[in-house]
Amino acid sequence: ERKALQKLRRERTRTRDDHDIELWINAETREDIATGHMLGANGVGLYRTEFLFLQRDEVPDEEEQFLAYRDAVLGMAGRPVTIRTLDIGADKADRTGLALPDEPNPALGVRGIRLSLRRPDLFDDQLRAILRASAYGPVRILLPMVSSREEIKAVRLRVKRLHGELSKTHTAIREEVPLGAMIEVPSAALSMSRWIGLVDFVSIGTNDLVQYLLAADRGNDALDDLYTPLHPAVLRVLADIIRTARLRGRPVAMCGEFAADPMFAPLLLTLGLEQFSMHSSSLLEVRKAIRACSFEARRAMLPQLLRLQDRAAILDWLHATAAMD
């Protein structure tokens, strides 16, 4: 079985009806990048930058960040690396040099893009480091916890100004550094048609999107029965996000854990997802699951999927349709 899986390293991620699906990796370390490259990942779909800021007493400066991002870009040898700007808030802040005030409700507090926009010096250092890394290969900027159009507009302007300044001194910086937004806050999902024109791509963060849609803390084990993407509300929102992105010609990936479970690959293809991003340890399993599916047959099942009433019905549907690809 392991051997059969290893053979898939060299295979394409192609459905039975010859539809190519992209598998990207979520990465942090050098090993993650090396493995992803070896497995033929299409790129890094989520490079989390928090690790550079945690477990220490000072903030990494532009140079330190630049070196880390440059190494990731070099490691992917020409495939795009999607660098997510800092997603720290009082929830993830186990020791940082950021001097974050305590908050009564960190998951709903100053985290992600909210923190970056309130700390312009910190944000500029990170954006400059990312832009400089673009001299070594294709880089994309991904914004976490976006909830409004204004946030994206503010970042666009900032990136444009920094790009202009840097281009005068560092000539190798890439002309095109695409800007994207995570969709993980319900307001961003539900108002997507109003802001999608401001970004080049989107990535769905189901870990947080599920938490916020269901008002169920993603880290609270007592809520395991409630915290699940297999809820009609979640599926409806996901279907809308993917459809809107397609209509507006913006690539849409999913980088939450939902995309990393091979069992759910048929369901995600039914929703129309064509870019999955996950830790490299799940990549071959997901590739195998996708290769057993027919994209067109799956797409035809969408109305059926969106009519299901609850988690049990969704699970039954997954089993019942397994033989229909």
Residues of the shown chain interacting with ligand PEP in the complex, contacts defined by CB under 6 A: 46, 48, 87, 184, 205-208, 255-256
Select the binding partner of residue 206 from ligand PEP, Mg ion, none (C-beta < 5 to 8 A, by kind). ligand PEP
45: left (phi over 0), alpha (psi -120 to 50) or beta: alpha
Binding partner of 255, given Mg ion, ligand PEP, none, CB within 5-8 angstroms per partner class:
ligand PEP
For the record, the structure tokens of 304 come out as: 């059926």
Beta bridge partners of 29: none
SS3 assignment, position 251: coil
Kindly tell me which of 52 and 162 has the beta carbon lying closer to ligand PEP.
Answer: 52
Q: Quick check: 136 and 74 in contact, CB under 8 A? A: yes
Task: Name the minimum Å distance from CB 103 to ligand PEP.
Answer: 17
* Residue 45: strand, helix, or coil: strand
Q: Is 287 annotated as a binding residue?
A: no
Nearer to Mg ion, 36 or 205 (CB): 205
Whose Cβ is closer to ligand PEP: residue 174's or residue 279's?
Answer: 279
Long-range CB contacts (< 8 A, 24+ apart) of 217-225? 217/107
75 vs 112 by CB, closer to ligand PEP = 112
Give contact residues for Mg ion (rule: CB under 5 A): 184, 205, 208
Q: How far is the CB of 207 from Mg ion (least distance, A)?
A: 5
Q: Cβ of residue 270: shortest distance to ligand PEP, in angstroms?
A: 20
Active site residue 293: no
In three-state secondary structure terms, 183 is strand
| CB-based contacts of 60, cutoff 8 Å, min separation 6 | 52, 53, 68
| Annotation: binding site | 48, 84, 184, 207-208, 218
Active-site residues, by number, are 255
